[in-house]
Amino acid sequence: MIKEKAYAKINLFLNVLSKRPDGYHEMDMVMTPLKLHDLLTFKKIKENKVEIISNKQITENNEDNVIYKVASFIMSEFEIKEGVEINIKKNIPIAGGLAGGSADAAATIRGLNRLFKLGMKFDEMAELGIGFGADIPFCIYNKLAIVQGVGDKIQFINAKLKAYVLLVNPQVPVLTKTVFENLDPNEFSNRNYTEMVQGLRNRDVGKVMNNLYNFMESTTFRLEPKVKDIKNELQELGTKGVLMSGSGATMFVLNRKKKYLENIVSQLNGAYYTVLTKIL
């Protein structure tokens, strides 16, 4: 039996540069893993199949789950004759812009690599993962990084930011595909992440907070006003360092002090699903 932690992520910086001829988008992102994680347990079974057990329903059918797709591909590609049971304890909000599905898929690649002694190195696992999702290569490594292209270009940032993160989720799913389909190409910009990276390398939480950016916010706000409501409410409380992660629906608040974030939770009065965690 093998266990793997699937860590959530947030985007400290996210810019969409252009739409490619193949329909994918060129992006510039700065991403960090969080301590919040799902826990996956892998166990060999005699029957040659992929069996998924989860404490929460992720997709209507297991076959539509990216975990199932990744596992089935690996079993076929490496001609594995045994089967695998994958037990998932979900803690990351589903369709929340926190790479929960990608983190689970990455953990599945790492877990099966260990369980069946496949000998894949990290770069090989990342290359396998990119075919199933843009965030999967980042989630293979779980390191603070600049992520570019379609998630395939990763440059690690040698820094450790000591900060707490409050996640605020309206518990409405936002589909990444829908957000991308509704982006306005006329709004694409060349905004860069230089200041953000400088803040990270200098371990300057204040500078990081001042340079948080997510191009997708305006589109998601149009599609799902409840996400915008969260940001408005947080800002009305005088909160700084607020940004939407990924395509939403989760907003996060970054701060050095845990008590500051605990105070925000109390002021929200249980209106939203909240998780207090920290940067990994």
What tens digit of pLDDT does each residue of 96-138 get?
A: 899 999 999 999 999 999 999 999 999 999 999 999 999 999 9
One domain for residues 13 and 116 = yes
pTM of the prediction? Answer: 0.94
| pLDDT at residue 69 greater than cutoff 90 | yes
One domain for residues 8 and 144 = yes
One domain for residues 100 and 225 = no
One domain for residues 187 and 263 = yes
Residue 256 is part of a domain; what is its CATH number?
3.30.70.890
**Burial environment of residue 77 by CB neighbours within 10 A (0 to 12, 13 to 18, 19 or more):** exposed
One domain for residues 45 and 90 = yes
Query: pLDDT per residue over 213-264, tens digit each?
Result: 999 999 999 999 999 999 999 999 999 899 999 998 999 999 999 999 999 9
Catalytically active residues, by annotation = 9, 135
**Burial environment of residue 194 by CB neighbours within 10 A (0 to 12, 13 to 18, 19 or more):** exposed
One domain for residues 187 and 244 = yes
Query: Average pLDDT of 184-211?
Result: 94
What's the pLDDT score for residue 265? 95
Strands (E), the chain: 2-19, 25-45, 50-54, 83-89, 145-149, 153-156, 164-169, 213-214, 242-244, 251-255, 273-278
pLDDT band for position 271 (50/70/90)?
confident
What's the pLDDT score for residue 174? 86
- The count of structural domains within the chain is 2
Query: Average pLDDT of 263-279?
Result: 94
What's the pLDDT score for residue 21? 85
Query: pLDDT per residue over 34-65, tens digit each?
Result: 999 999 999 999 999 999 998 877 766 767 88
Phi, then psi, of 200 in degrees rounded to 5: -65, -45
Residue 28 is part of a domain; what is its CATH number?
3.30.230.10
One domain for residues 79 and 191 = no
Query: Average pLDDT of 157-184?
Result: 92
Distances (CA, A) of 148 to 30, 71, 156, 171, 254: 9, 26, 11, 29, 23
One domain for residues 132 and 211 = no
One domain for residues 21 and 122 = yes
Average pLDDT for the chain? 94
Query: Average pLDDT of 165-185?
Result: 91
3-state helix, strand, coil in the chain (%, to 5): 35, 30, 35
What's the pLDDT score for residue 57? 74
